Amino acid sequence: MPSNKQLTDVVMPQLAESLVSATIGKWLKKPGDKVEQYEPICEVITDKVNAEIPSTLDGIMGELLAEEGQEISVGTVICRIETEPTPSAATASGEQPKAEAGQSAGVTTAETTDSSQRHRYSPAVQTLAAEHGIDLRSVPGTGLGGRITRKDVLAFIENGGAGALALAPSTTTAAVPQSVPVQQPQVQVAPGGISADLSRAAFEPVRHSGLHLTETPRIPTIEVEGGDRSEYFIDVTPIRNTIATRMRQSVSEIPHGWMMIEVDVTNLVQLRNKIKDEFKKKEGVNLTYLAFLLKAVVSAIKDYPIMNSVWAVDKIIVKRDINISLAVGTEDSVLTPVIKKADQKNIAGLAREIEDLASKVRAGKLKLDDMQGGTFTVNNTGSFGSILTQPIINYPQAAILTFESIVKKPVVINDMIAVRSMANLCLSLDHRILDGVICGRFMQRVKDNMESYSLDTQVY
């Protein structure tokens, strides 16, 4: 059979990048089975893929060289497939050995006769010859083209060939300086490296560049030196650092949306003017417009609870308690103390809370507890004369509302011009949670609440 049939090797292919071997799972063809090109011949298992190996040609399965369960390197023959012999393949394989024989013969002849490199001395050979006072003409060369190699010189010295050593002491001393400067640079490397390490350690604790991060900066107790006539420096206080961090976090994380509505507060102004002096006398605190606004906002949140929520990436957390953070500014900072369960309080109660928190802020007596748990922020920006603001959301809340200055304006009512007390309300919203329609409804509800105050409204 082998005389007129030809056996072709099938090798383990590269099944996946980085794989160098694979395990034979199961042979699908047995010796003697007919095999067609691309037909699976065996299953293989690797830690990346399980695959079937297709046949590379038509024929009959000859012998299996790998067993099931055996790990085979990529490129190793796994089986042989019998095919009809092709005449061209037979002649090609017959010609090859001749060519190889011719090549190797050429190499051996060249080696024995060529001495073209006999007088090419390498730097190492010259160095050794000079050090040992060797006449290189007497050293046999075994290198390519009869070249004297470094090893030839060393062997020559070892065999006592360095007889000329005594004759030429002057050449020995002349040769030594050549190698000395070569060695010096390496010796100096080590001490340089050590001193650099030491100086680095000494500098470690000082930090004088970079922006604020999370660490608490030093409290500025002394005026900071530095700068020149055109500028001076202010150290960042811990509170400034906190504000900066929170603001940056809010602006960079929350996609802010913004809207504004105008509210007619004429009735509210009349109501407040009517009762504020008596209220002050009775309660000892000022009855501010802000208290009425808070009541209006809290009632509107009750109707639209989504305003009182937090974005939590895969869900939105809606807070049941309505805790209003009240932005209270001082000369150099802004704080947001919290009125807890604001929905449980009437206007009088809110007015008292506002006064309490504001005085605590000014006296610097806020406790941590006063600052925590806010769910929605209100800022009375009108108190410093603003008529329009674009507030930054108090992270991680969903929205912030500002109450702008009350301004008397001509307003068209029933096609007649009237002078009315108007105020703007601005809302910044977390657009991940809230959209225009819901916020528009919310703001409309706040507006309705504000405009429905009348002389009959009860503050208790």
Partner 1 sequence: MPVMEYIDAIRLAMKEEMERDENVFVLGEDVGVKGGVFTTTKGLQEQFGELRVMDTPLAESAIAGVAIGAAMYGMKPIAEMQYSDFMLPATNQIISEAAKIRYRSNNDWSCPVVVRAPIGGGIFGGLYHSQCPESIFFGTPGLKIVAPYSAYDAKGLLKAAVRDPDPVLFFENKKCYKLIKEDVPEDDYIVPIGKANVLREGTDITVIGYSLPLHFAMQAAAELEAEQGISAHILDLRTIQPLDREAIIESARKTGKVLIVHEDNKTGGVGAEVAAIISEECLFELDAPIQRLCGPDVPAMPISPPMEKFFMLSKDKVKEAMTQLALF
Q: By CB under 8 A, name the one of 5, 9, 20, 362 that touches partner 1.
A: 20
Q: Is 119 a catalytic residue?
A: no
Q: Report the residue number, 32 or 193, with the smaller CB distance to partner 1.
A: 193
Q: Does 386 bind partner 1 (CB under 8 A)?
A: no
Q: Report the residue number, 144 or 317, with the smaller CB distance to partner 1.
A: 144
The strand pair at 316-318 and 256-264 is best described as: unpaired
Cβ-Cβ contacts under 8 Å for 144 (sequence gap 6 or more): 114, 117
Return the structure tokens found at 62: 């000859």
Instruction: Check 58, 256, 356, 431 and give the catalytic one.
Output: 431
Measured in whole angstroms, the distance separating CA 384 from the mean position of its chain's CA atoms is: 42
d(CA 200, CA 189): 17
- Residues 34 to 73 in contact with partner 1, rule: CB under 8 A: 47-48
What is the 3-state secondary structure of 17-31? Answer: CCCCEEEEEEECCCC
Q: By CB under 8 A, name the one of 17, 100, 158, 331 that touches partner 1.
A: 17
Q: Report the residue number, 142 or 346, with the smaller CB distance to partner 1.
A: 142
Q: Provide the Cα torsion 376, 382, 386, 391; round to 10°.
A: 0
Q: Does 124 bind partner 1 (CB under 8 A)?
A: yes
Site size toward partner 1 (CB under 8 A) is: 35
- Taking the complex as a whole, the smallest distance from the CB of residue 126 to partner 1 amounts, in Å, to 8
- Taking the complex as a whole, the smallest distance from the CB of residue 117 to partner 1 amounts, in Å, to 9
Q: By CB under 8 A, name the one of 37, 115, 178, 359 that touches partner 1.
A: 178
- Biggest CA-to-CA distance, the chain: 130
Q: By CB under 8 A, name the one of 103, 186, 230, 458 that touches partner 1.
A: 186
Return the structure tokens found at 146: 């009869």
Q: Does 149 bind partner 1 (CB under 8 A)?
A: yes
Taking Cα atoms as reference points, which of 55, 58, 54, 42 lies closest to residue 6? Answer: 58
The residues pairing with 413 across neighbouring beta strands, listed in sequence order, are: 416
d(CA 296, CA 451): 9
Q: Provide the Cα torsion 244, 247, 251, 252; round to 10°.
A: 50
Q: Report the residue number, 105 or 418, with the smaller CB distance to partner 1.
A: 105
Q: Does 122 bind partner 1 (CB under 8 A)?
A: yes
Beta strands across the sheet bearing 40-45: 50-54, 40-45, 21-27, 71-73
Element housing 448 (H / E):
helix 436-451
Q: Report the residue number, 15 or 261, with the smaller CB distance to partner 1.
A: 15
Q: Does 176 bind partner 1 (CB under 8 A)?
A: no
Q: By CB under 8 A, name the one of 25, 77, 150, 275 that touches partner 1.
A: 150
Taking Cα atoms as reference points, which of 24, 33, 25, 15 lies closest to residue 80? Answer: 33
Q: Is 435 a catalytic residue?
A: yes
Element housing 124 (H / E):
helix 123-132
Q: By CB under 8 A, name the one of 50, 70, 172, 179 that touches partner 1.
A: 179
Task: Build a one-symbol-per-residue string for 290-329: x at contacts with partner 1 by CB under 8 A, - elsewhere.
Answer: ----------------------------------------
- Taking the complex as a whole, the smallest distance from the CB of residue 122 to partner 1 amounts, in Å, to 4
Instruction: Check 152, 435, 448, 456 and give the catalytic one.
Output: 435
Question: Beta-carbon neighbour count of residue 61 at 10 Å?
Answer: 21
Q: By CB under 8 A, name the one of 147, 319, 352, 447 that touches partner 1.
A: 147
Q: By CB under 8 A, name the one of 87, 210, 364, 385 that touches partner 1.
A: 210
CB 339, CB 350: distance < 8 Å = yes
The residues pairing with 285 across neighbouring beta strands, listed in sequence order, are: none
Residues with catalytic annotation? 431, 435
Q: Which residues bind partner 1 (CB under 8 A)?
A: 14, 17-21, 47-48, 122-127, 143-144, 147, 149-151, 178-179, 182, 185-186, 189, 200, 203-204, 206-210, 213
